[in-house]
Amino acid sequence: MSRIRHIRLIFVFNLMIAVMLGTGLALWTPDLPRAELEQRYLANPADLVEVEGTTLHMRDRGPRDAPAVILIHGFGSSLHTWSAWQERMAGSRRVISFDLPGFGLSPPDATGDYSDARVSQIVLGIMDRLGLEQADLIGNSIGGRIAFTFAAAHPERVRKLVLVSPDGYESPGFTYGQAPEVPMLAQAVRFWLPKPLLRLSLGMAYADPTVMSDQIVSRYHDLIRAPGVREALFDRMRQTVLVPPETLLADVRAPTLLLWGEEDAVIPAANAGSYARALRDAQTVLLPRMGHVPQEEGPARSLAPVEAFLAT
């Protein structure tokens, strides 16, 4: 190889490395300072509380002596997903929402345990802290799985149960009895999370992506960059071991409403039939032209059947 050609190859190689490093630096998405996030998304410093040995971001709104409702959000989300519902219900109910450990403004769980049993312990801790002997539980996606897991373990503490497009059955990558493998490419989110990529991912949750405003995307993008959240996100995935949900649903005593967007592209609405057959007392409401997060996509329309169900 001639000396000139050798120099050219070195130049091209160095240029490629520079481009790769430049691209990486351009896409690098560091954590945001916690103080900055609290300034944007913490309504009241008193909303940060200690429950079962870990810190939670929790909103407790509405009359303290009114019937209580606890809202549990889904994977990668936060209590903000319930903001419209919480505001509407808080006129006549005590409505409690919280960020699951390692999501939103709740720091990673101090125990490092992200199992459903641990989250059930936290829900029980919230109820005991607030002096609630019984409450209605509403959960979306993995929040739905947590809600019916809790209702099965503590039937005396749950008056009514609302499952909004709940997770629980096997799906690609999630097999009963096995922790899922997290692809290395997915783990790159710990370092790179361009907002357009997040918008594309979030779009799957909506039947009408135009509902997904820049403000919503920015909120998700900000909160997933809270210190420790991305690592906790993957810890939760690695610790998720599904069991056939029928074994839990059979122990649920609370009357249950299954609420599903007909155009859910994340968890198919067809799963509602399986849940209805496994539960003792269930009714199903399918929402036309809605996706995986009807509480965000059409708050008033999706809340109407919930309020009617809880009122009876």
Catalytic residue among 57, 73, 80, 292: 292
CA-atom Rg of the chain in angstroms: 22
**Annotation marks residue 154 as catalytic:** no
CB 47 within 8 A of CB 59: yes
Count Cβ neighbours within 10 Å for each residue of 206-233 and write b for 16 or more, e otherwise.
Answer: bbeeebbeeebbebbbbbbbbebbbebb
Task: Give the integer Cα–Cα distance in Å for 131 and 142.
Answer: 25
Contact assessment for residue 163 and residue 144, using Cβ atoms and an 8 Å cutoff? yes
Tell me the one-letter amino acid at 23: T
Spell out the residues 6+ positions from residue 45 whose beta carbon is closer than 8 angstroms to its own.
38
Q: Tokens in use for 238?
A: 């690695």
Report in angstroms the alpha-carbon separations of 63 from 72, 79, 94.
Answer: 20, 19, 5
CA separation for the pair 152, 199 (Å, rounded): 35
Half-sphere exposure of 106 (CA within 13 A, CB side): 31
Instruction: Choose, from 78, 97, 120, 141, the residue flagged as catalytic.
Output: 141
Mark whether 80 is an active-site residue.
no
Q: Which of 97, 106, 264, 302 is catalytic?
A: 264
- Asked whether 86 and 106 are in contact (CB, 8 A), the reply is no
Q: Which residues are catalytic?
A: 141, 264, 292
